[in-house]
Amino acid sequence: MGTSVQVTPLCGVYNENPLSYLVSIDDFNFLIDCGWHDHFDPTILQPLSKVASTIDAVLLSYPDTLHLGALPYAVKQLGLSAPVFTTEPTYRLGLLTMYDQYLSRKQVSDFDLFTLDDIDSAFQKVTRLTYSQNHHLSGKGEGIVIAPHVAGHLLGGTVWKITKDGEDVIYAVDLNHRKERHLNGTVLASFVRPAVLITDAYNALNNQPYRRGEKENEFGETIKKTLGAGGNVLLPVDTAGRVFELILILEQYWTDKSLNYPIFFLTYVASSTIDYVKSFLEWMSDSIAKSFEQNRENPFLLKNVTFLINKSELDNAPDGPKVVIASMASLEVGFSHDIFVEWASDAKNLVLFTERGQFATLARILQADPPPKAVKVAMSKRVPLVGEELIAYEEEQNRIKKEETLKATLIKEETKASHGADIDASDPMVVDVSNTHALPDVAGPHGGGYRDILIDGFVPSSTSVAPMFPFYENTFEWDDFGEVINPDDYVIKDEDMDQTGMHVGGYLDAKFDEGSTSMMLDTKPSKVVSNELTVQVKCLLIYMDFEGRSDGRSIKSILSHVAPLKLVLVHGSAEATEHLKQHCLKHVCPHVYAPHIEETIDVTSDLCAYKVQLSEKLMSNVLFKKLGDYEIAWVDAEVAKTDGGTLSLNPCSTTAPPHKSVLVGDLKMADFKQFLASKGIQVEFAGGALRCGEYVTIRKVGDASQKGGASGPQQILIEGPLCEDYYKIRDYLYSQFFLL
Amino acid sequence: MAALPYFDEIDPSMIDVLLITHFHLDHAASLPYFLEKTTFKGRVFMTYPTKAIYKLLLTDYVKVSKVSVEDMLFNEQDINRSMDKIEVIDFHQTVEVNGIRFWCYTAGHVLGAAMFMVDIAGVRVLYTGDYSREEDRHLRAAETPLFSPDVCIIESTYGVRQHQPQHVREKRFTDVIHTTISEGGRVLIPVFALGRAQELLLILDEYWSTHPELQNIPIYYASPLAKRCLSVYETYLHSMNDRIRSKHAAKSNPFVFKYISPIKSIENFKDVGPSVVMASPGGLQSGLSRQLFDMWCSDRKNACVLPGYLVEGTLAKTIINEPKEVTLMNGLTAPLNMQVHNISFSAHADSAQTSAFLEELLPNNIILVHGEAKEMGRLKQKLIGQFADRNVKIFNPKNCQSVEMYFNSQKMAKTIGRLGERTPEVGETVSGLLVKKGFTYQIMAPDDLHIFSQLSTANITQRITIPYAGAFSVLNHRLKQIFESVESSTDEESGIPMLRVHERVTVKQDSEKLISLHWSSDPVSDMVSDSIVALVVNINREIPKVVVEAEAIKTEEENGKKVEKVIYALLVSLFGDVKAGENGKLVITVDGNVAELDKQSGDVVSENEGLKERIRTAFQRIQSAVKPIPLSAS
């Protein structure tokens, strides 16, 4: 039997919710993508929470919230402990996206689903791979090979290929087959006949024709017009994804038209983002790689775009028309939200959406047709506590501190013994990690209190009655990274040793923009003040598709080219999913599934197979014929067993019965017509048949449009009277095939 | 021209893939020539940083080379054209070309240096190029591949020599410099412009920043080329180690040096008091490093630190033996008084690293390359000792000497689809299509071909109409005379009579004057139909001919002879030397192996199994070709 494959959607089927799917291959559980939406509603992670602890490996495909947003929460709260695999850019940009999400959220609410530490510790689990790297899993997953391949859409975007025993399971969502400014198109079309293909129906109904040059020009014109009329332009974008393409388009347009309106790129992590992107040229399009090789031109050395990491810098910028590229794309939180509220009431301004907003977000509401005249938005702000509130807070903190003192003492008593045993396990390598990560922790209101206690040291136990010498046991404080230590103890004086002390963790968040760091480390007690207000939407709202996804028609043609044996559809509105399902049933393959949430479907290939060894004797007698990438031959062989117990094929001892001859090849009528014409035969199509010469006709019988798995061999009929032409044409026809 | 590799000894058009490990001239410099001036048609791969620096380096090389235009092997245009042909490969990325799969690992040594693992039909070959197992200030150490290769082609530059530990070398290096300049001397460091120089600059810059007393002493680095390559170093940070990446993360550019200033040429250099100058070339052949050497070599306060591998025949190699006098560029001799130190930072593996690396890899075959013959021989002896108890072969071929190794790779095939529904018992026969793609084999039923591959099968149905005015029954009669199996029936729809010959070809009487032939194409049916057509044409042309029985018998005898003749002729065409032996047997001799073939039974007697098998199959094939057509189409 083939490899057993089950697919269970955990989120994101029959709607546009975040993506998260469980794929089990011979009982090895892959979680593919671990997305969340901008509302961060834990209820949609319910199905994930049930299976999180059984996951053996996590594969991430894109660095945006919809594909990896739930990772920190799942690791922290749901017991997800598996290793994570993704590409270097997805790792890095995903991390920045999550920082930005957290910082945006924290600014306007008491966000407590995860902390910056949780983000870091979740991303510590990541193993980074390069495109086309065959990574062999070990242990439980022995025999499984995973490989990321170029997907387009976002930098570092991945099509996952999971191979076991020669059978491929491919996960490919949000593809873009077109080459863009900064990205290459997907390589999905180079895979043929995988056992299972999991893809999305998100864009199945979107058949917008795509003309890049025209579209980019229109984009530039629209912005220029608003700026020219004295208005401001807001581009709500994701933190580190499509924004790169937009920045490059604007950069180019500004250069071409010599515009000098300022462009600001405003996220909490803007300058880090650009810094990283500059060093990801290996992952970008061929044209970018080429221009760097030839002229060492890095397109992300931007001339017209300024990066900002807090809004006050924007407020300090000189007045006058400007373009602001700000996160989040959903307008729910982040700088884009604040700026929208400020600018919406001015009819001169323009809010230009470049992607469809997530369901039920402000962006989506504004993209409705016709757009709403007014929207209610929550305006929240973090303000420092003053006066009575501050006093009350301090009292509360003291109380909590005391309680924790008590609790910690008790806990310590209990855990002392068990800690002792594990101490040896912590090696100095973990050390740096923990000390860098300890920094942001201070922000947590409870962190400070807990820490005090342990540093204060030994509290005499109330239970000890008899007098005794004080015994100072070495106790260790632990956090997610191991023992918490004083970094100075580990500073190595010896010059030569600092070579070895380097490792990955050290720089993880060293790169925080100073502004956000100061905000994070701001331990001043503060609270969130929010009020709801109604914003009159007078500004211009425009939606232009710069999502960088293949349109419906292209997706269909890619699917029929790839022609998987089984196809699983996920992610997309109910109509889109149903539409694509019907289309694929007709044109791609007979096995199309669109499972519902938590519905497990079995896509084990009904392919039967066994392995045999080809003996030297047999192979020396096989005559291969070369056909494109393939070499093909007919074999008659006798089964035998080798010493190792595997089956082997030897030449037949008796003459094999003659077999029906097989014609191999794919006849394209149009190509054949040209071929005949080149041989000096008059050919024309007439009534679905090819008329050759005066009398002979050739036709293909059966449904020619049916491609892939459903159809059988081609049926070709040649007829004509007895004449010389007949035999000549028949010879030409034969020449198109290989006879075996 | 004389310095080119021995390209004459190979046929460039036969090479499928060309892999470049790193940008150093001894590894990449003849590439433009090879791509543009030979018959090479394959594909070229190198890593991203290598490609970027390759261009800069070679362009510079062409510009400074003093060879006359006619003697130049390639010019700048050739380099630019070669850039279009070079494809890039990222570390660990697997690329497949004509079924050959390969990927690369970090090799240390210089930025972008790679070790290539090539997998051909399951046989893995690792080529290390220049590699170093030591992490330094900016590069990672060479990785250990996950899989043990069958063949490891490994550099042996340092032979059995051992490096001093890294920190000792660094300390010697900085101490020499420190002492020299504190005594008022000048330090000359001849280096190759790219690669190790960056590491030395990092060391110097770091040392200066921790020693404030030195900070008024200038360090000069004379290489405009290195300056141009800086952006490459800044961009491909992911090929470097975590130390550099964390510095980058901390927003300081590690390659912007605080205490090091660039100079263009000797004219821009003011020789006033102590200084440290790094200049190329590393071998002191000519150029700035030589000019400075000539200026400084007579003063015993000065020092020359040679940080690289010293190539035979260069001045650098000569002065390491501390001769009393040296010849200057202007031909005069001068006393050599300056101190000469050789502190190697060349990032090649030393003997200990090589041993440890091979110990982890455990290849079955080791091929030593890139090293001086004597040193290589010593390394070979050492390795033979190391792997004495294991079955490891060690080779150190000379140039153009090929190493032949034989691998008995077991070819495994997967039987899939309809054929694979049931695992057969021993002794059963399996018949189907053997499909080979790259180096994987699959066996499948013809009907499954389109499911498991992009190939498809076709059935061609033929229908040919022939004018025939005679009675259908005559045709029936005549067909029965020739063919053993002729069934007559009537077509169910139209009620017209039809004949089925050998269950292959259907003959129908379409109208009074026309008959039609129907069959599905394959060689046998085509033949049957041809003979029917001939028969019909004959009937049309003449009145029925009486067939003489005697003739038929004679024909049979003749046929027997004919068959033998044909068999003989075909065997000769296949095997060459075929003679008639005793008892009607045929004696076939191929490459000194003799086989006897019994024409009646098809038995073959030979001592050589392979030959026996080949003759047997050939004979079976010939027999099936000359034998009468079987009755049924199955």
Q: Which three-class secondary structure string do you get for A533-561?
A: EEEECCCEEEECCCCCCCCHHHHHHHHHH
The yes-or-no verdict on residue A413 having pLDDT over 70 is no
Residues of chain B with C-beta less than 8 angstroms from the C-beta of A299: none
Name the residue among B92, B235, B623 with its Cβ closest to that of A278: B235
pLDDT in tens, A82-104: 999 999 999 999 999 999 999 99
What does the DSSP 8-state code read for residue A473?
-
pLDDT in tens, A661-702: 788 877 778 888 888 888 888 888 877 788 887 788 888 876
The two structure tokens encoding residue A471 = 């015994």
Q: Which of A96, A500, A560, A649 to probe the B interface (max B CBs under 10 A)?
A: A649
pLDDT score at A47: 93
Higher pLDDT, A459 or A226: A226
pLDDT in tens, A329-338: 999 888 999 9
Report yes or no: B529 at the A interface, CB cutoff 8 Å. Answer: no
Among B450, B115, B148, residue whose Cα is nearest residue A192: B450
How far apart CA A719 and CA A725 sit, in angstroms, is: 11
Strand partners, A637: A651, B430
How far apart CA A197 and CA A168 sit, in angstroms, is: 8
Looking at every residue in chain A, the average pLDDT score rounds to 81
How far apart CA A203 and CA A412 sit, in angstroms, is: 56
Please identify every residue of B annotated as catalytic.
348
Q: How far is B590 from chain A (nearest CA, A)?
A: 15
* Tokens 């890039």 sit on residue: B88
pLDDT score at A513: 47
What does the DSSP 8-state code read for residue A303?
S
Cβ–Cβ below 8 Å for A638 and B429: yes
Contact in structure between B301 and B337 (CB atoms under 8 Å) = no
pLDDT score at B568: 81
The yes-or-no verdict on residue A160 having pLDDT over 90 is yes
Name the residue among A281, A499, A614 with its Cβ closest to that of B413: A614
Report yes or no: B122 at the A interface, CB cutoff 8 Å. Answer: no
Among A39, A54, A48, A41, residue whose Cα is nearest residue A19: A48
Element (H, E) at B105: strand B100-106
Strands, E, within B20-58: which ranges? 43-46
Name the residue among A296, A622, A722 with its Cβ closest to that of B464: A722
Residues 6 or more apart in contact with residue A658 via CB below 8 angstroms: B624, B630
The answer to whether the predicted template modeling score (pTM) of the entire model surpasses 0.90 is no
Most confident of A287-296, A428-437, B221-230: A287-296
Q: Report the pLDDT averaged over residues A267-294.
A: 89
SS3 at position A294: helix
pLDDT score at A225: 93
pLDDT score at A466: 54
The yes-or-no verdict on residue A561 having pLDDT over 60 is yes
Cβ–Cβ below 8 Å for A193 and B453: yes
Task: Measure the CA dihedral A624/A625/A626/A629, to 10°.
Answer: -60
Q: Band of the pLDDT at A474, cuts 50, 70, 90?
A: low
How far apart CA B620 and CA B265 sit, in angstroms, is: 80
Backbone φ and ψ of B591, nearest 5°: 45, 40
Residues of chain B with C-beta less than 8 angstroms from the C-beta of A663: 457-460, 521-522
pLDDT in tens, A178-216: 999 999 999 998 888 888 999 999 988 888 777 888 899
The yes-or-no verdict on residue A705 having pLDDT over 60 is no
Q: How far is B234 from chain A (nearest CA, A)?
A: 7
Cβ–Cβ below 8 Å for A193 and B443: no
Burial class of residue B608, CB neighbours in 10 A (0-12, 13-18, 19+): middle
Strand partners, B604: B597
pLDDT score at B35: 92
Other Cβ atoms closer than 10 A to A12: 25
pLDDT score at B565: 80
Contact in structure between A222 and A352 (CB atoms under 8 Å) = yes
pLDDT score at B365: 92
Q: What string of DSSP letters covers B445-478? A: -GGGHHHHSS--EEEEEEEEEEE--S-HHHHHHH
Cβ–Cβ below 8 Å for A296 and B232: yes
Which regions of chain B are under pLDDT 70?
1-2, 66-69, 251, 409, 542-556, 627-634
pLDDT in tens, A17-56: 999 999 999 889 999 999 998 889 999 999 999 999 999 9
Cβ–Cβ below 8 Å for B413 and A649: yes
Cβ–Cβ below 8 Å for B415 and A298: no
How far apart CA A395 and CA B395 sit, in angstroms, is: 80
Strands, E, within A215-262: which ranges? 233-237
How far apart CA B535 and CA B546 sit, in angstroms, is: 14
Count CA within 13 A, CB hemisphere, residue B155. 22
How far apart CA A172 and CA A61 sit, in angstroms, is: 8
pLDDT in tens, A176-185: 999 999 999 9
pLDDT score at A567: 93
Name the residue among A622, A667, A730 with its Cβ closest to that of B434: A622
pLDDT score at A254: 94
SS3 at position B186: strand
